[in-house]
Amino acid sequence: MSQKAPPEYIDKWKIVSVLGEGAFGQVYCVHEKNDKKRTLFAMKVEQKQKNRNDEVLRMEVQVMERVNGKFFCDIFAKGQTEKITFIVITLLAKPLDDIRRAQPARRFCKPTSMKIGLQMIKAFKKLHLAGYIHRDVKPANIAPGYHHPHMLYLFDFGLSRYIYKPDMPGELRVARVKVPFRGTYRYCSINAHMCRDQGRVDDLWGLLVNLQRFLEKSLSNHLSILSSSSVQERFLGQDCPRSFKKVKKRLNQCKFEDKPDYDAIAVILFREIYALGREKLLTDPFEWQTRPDDMNPFMHTKRSKDEEDEDTIGTVESEYDSEYESRADGSTNTITVDDNTLDDLNDDNLKEKSKIWEEQKKLKKAASSAVKTEEKKTSKEDIKNQHKPSVKDQKPSTKEQKPAAKQKPSVKEQKPSAKGQKPSTKEHQKTSAKGQKTSVKEQKNPAKPQKSSVKGQKSSVNEQKNSAKGQKSSVKQKPVCKVKFEGKTKGSGKSKK
């Protein structure tokens, strides 16, 4: 941008000093012209572009109007002249990259890094709930407030993107196959390096890399990190804290369309602070608050050449519309926003949440052990029951075989029928009548009496035909009863004579 002296006034705002210059404009410290208290604000100025889509400031206004409150700057005024567009926002202190370099050890202690992570997790929850991803997470875009130094702010939304379909709120855009690079090489995710479409999880990858950077004195291993295709694998290695490895494990499970588990990540960071015995740090001031010069936004920290951020940022104009690009397999993954899943975390409630988490973990273990014991009991009972039914099944089989033995005399009685004696027909009718009774009781198996009759009539084929006729006539029960009655009267008459 131009190195000319800034104007004295822009609209009704008096310019106090220049805070910085970027690729898209300047940042001034201003106060209102007629304000006797001279309350300080920050003003972002951008030169007007021929194509309105090139205006980065328009995206920032859109995001900050949707995401207001804690961890984000408020917009106090906005306007434009013939040549520029400007917004007046909350004044911030130095960004964290300058504050880190100003520390005696040129790094933050581990509890401070965890505390930064806790506040930024809350910030990303709010940002993602509003439907935006940042895509340029780095220490230069995180700063404590000038008037509220205990609170960190996330800013610079020039590369942000709305992740939901404009015509269908709450439904994710389809992941694009390949996109231009967005972000900063040192702090971006693997997906950004591979020119893949970034999702909510990529913001958290950037945050995790930033938290690890805060623990290092220098960034001398930058080139070795970039030489690897998997940045996180090389960077979050053996020297990485255990809590970061746990967070990394959770992030590895998330895909483009997945919503990260913000609460679980916050609990992991809190437990690390608690394990270090620094739980008071959650309410105590940051370590840089004891050094006022570190907070002064007007005193800039000099950077060496190897510490300069190498931002290879493309223009917003060259972005692809997600509606025209889909995944390689043509799939479309959608997800609905659930407001209840993105409740704000409070530092005061983190202890209670960790206790609840521990209790739930114990309950799960107890439930799993109970299930295992029940499975063992059921398996033992099954083994016992497998042998018992076999003995019971054999007993009724012997009972069923006894009536079959009683049927043997019928075969002996039917032997004289082979010699052509007439009484065989009567005996056959009796046996058929018995077979009919069983057939009435056992209508499901009418073929059983026929089998017994066939066994008794092996000697002659003619008797089989007669037995078939007898069966037809035996359907009517009255004639059978007459035969029995007549046989009895005749026998009784002979005895009387």
Q: Is 167 a catalytic residue?
A: no
Phi and psi torsions of 80, nearest 5° = -155, 155
Counting every residue written for the chain, the total comes to 497
Cα separation of the two ends of the chain? 146
SS (H, E, C) the chain: CCCCCCCCEECCEEEEEEEEECCCCEEEEEEECCCCCCCCEEEEEEECCCCHHHCHHHHHHHHHHHCCCCCCCCEEEEEECCCEEEEEECCECCCHHHHHHHCCCCCCCHHHHHHHHHHHHHHHHHHHHCCEECCCCCHHHEEEECCCCCCEEECCCCCCEECEECCEEEEECCCCCCCCCCCCCCCCCHHHHCCCCCCHHHHHHHHHHHHHHCCCCCCCCHHHHHCCCCHHHHHCCCCCCHHHHHHHHHHHCCCCCCCCCHHHHHHHHHHHHHHCCCHHHHCCCCHHHHCHHHHCCCCCCCCCHHHCCCCCCCCHHHCCCCCCCCCCCCCCCCCCCCHHHHCCCCHHHHHHHHHHHHHHHHHHHHHHHHHHHHHHHHHHHHHHHHHHHHHHHHHHHHHHHHHHHHCHHHHHHCCHHHHCCCHHHHHHHHHHHHHHHHHHHCCCCCHHHHHHHHHHCCCCHHHHHHHHHHHHHCCCHHHHHHHHHHHHHHHHHHHHC
Establish whether 94 is an annotated binding residue. no
Exactly one of 35, 54, 98, 136 is catalytic; which is it?
136
Residue whose pair of structure tokens reads 């875009």 in the numeric block: 141
The answer to whether the beta carbons of residues 173 and 163 sit under 8 Å apart is yes
Q: Residue 46's beta-bridge partner residues?
A: 85
- Backbone phi, psi, residue 27, to 5°: -125, 125
Give the burial class of 353: count Cβ atoms within 10 A of its Cβ; 0-12 exposed, 13-18 middle, 19 or more buried. middle
Q: Which amino acid is at 438?
A: T
**Residue 77 to residue 40: CA distance in whole angstroms:** 13
Q: Active-site positions?
A: 136
Annotated binding-site positions for ATP: 44
Residues within the annotated binding site?
44
